[in-house]
Amino acid sequence: MSAANTVNPPVAFTQDELGWVSWIDPLPEAELTERHFAGLVDRSRAKSEYFRLLVRDPEVLEARTKTDKDIFYNVADGLPRAERELAAAATSRYNGCIYCASVHARFASTYSKRRDDVQRLLDEGVGVDLGERWNAVVKASVALAATPIAFGPDNIEELRRAGLDDAEIVDVINGASFFNWANRLMLSLGEPSK
């Protein structure tokens, strides 16, 4: 077990850069083999405590990382990056993952240039009014994150009315769903630090 007594955890949602400290032992960098580096996908991730923990199961990590990259970075068509990041940030805000919300709120701000609106999502929560298109994305993300899942035909209609086509709606579904994966790892294996 890692010593977690040095953590200074954030107590509010923020767009600041946070650290993350694992509650169980990551693999030491010196012990990583080529199998582990394949799991990390990017060798630079060996510097991250989070990825050196997940690389204990390299096959799952590799598949998960490649899923993540395609859902968020493959913007040749479909939803603009800003709104994929908005779906991730809204999901993280609703599930309560301060770390994930900080990263993806920051990306949403960078790509949308709507930093104040993104901050209102963090400060006021997922019920905030951000205009028709963003409201539809946030509402769909939240409906997907609920257990039991509350996503239904009304969410599809709302996304269509806001101008999203079917491929863009699939990107909302993928982005929000993926953060139900990410949030649970970040929240349960360690904690953020300022």
Partner 1 sequence: MSTKDIIDTLAGIEPGSALDAIRAKRVQARDNAQKSYLSLFEPIDAGDFSLVERAAVAAFVIGLHGESPVAAFYRDKLAATADGAALLEAIKAEIARGKTSGPYGAYPAGPLSAEDKTGLIYRVSADRKPVLGARLVAALEHAHLLVFRPRDAAAADMKALLAAGWSETGIVTFSQLVAFLSFQVRVVTGLRVLGASLGRTANAVAGA
Half-sphere exposure of 124 (CA within 13 A, CB side): 12
Nearest to 181 by CA among 144, 155, 139: 144
Q: Is 146 near partner 1 (CB under 8 A)?
A: yes
Helix H or strand E segment including 193? strand 190-193
The answer to whether 31 contacts partner 1 (rule: CB under 8 A) is no
> How many residues does this entry show for the chain?
194
Burial class (CB in 10 A: 0-12, 13-18, 19+), 113: exposed
- Of residues 25, 29, 42, 129, which one binds partner 1 by CB under 8 A? 25
Report the residue from 101, 184, 193, 194 that binds partner 1 according to the rule CB under 8 A: 184
Q: Which of 87, 106, 63, 107 is nearest to 173 (CA)?
A: 87
Size of the site for partner 1 (CB under 8 A): 66
The three-class DSSP label of residue 21 is: strand
Q: What is the SS3 assignment for 19?
A: strand
Among 14, 15, 109, 155, binds partner 1 (CB under 8 A): 155
Cα(142)–Cα(29) distance, rounded to whole angstroms? Answer: 37
Looking at the DSSP bridge assignments, the partners of residue 22 are: 190
Nearer Cβ to partner 1 (129/181): 181
Binding mask 63-102 for partner 1 (x = CB under 8 A): xx-xx-xxx--x-xxx---------------xxxxx----
Q: Which is closer to partner 1, CB of 64 or CB of 113?
A: 64
Closest separation in Å from C-beta 112 to partner 1: 22
Stretch that binds partner 1, among 82-90, 112-120, 127-135, 140-148 (CB under 8 A): 140-148
Our finding on whether 30 is near partner 1 (CB under 8 A) is: no
Q: What whole-number distance in Å separates Cα of residue 176 and Cα of residue 46?
A: 26
38 binds partner 1 (CB under 8 A): no
- The residues binding partner 1 (CB under 8 A) are 1, 4, 9-13, 23-25, 53-54, 56-57, 59-64, 66-67, 69-71, 74, 76-78, 94-98, 125, 144-149, 151-153, 155-157, 166-167, 169-170, 173-174, 176-178, 180-185, 187-189, 191
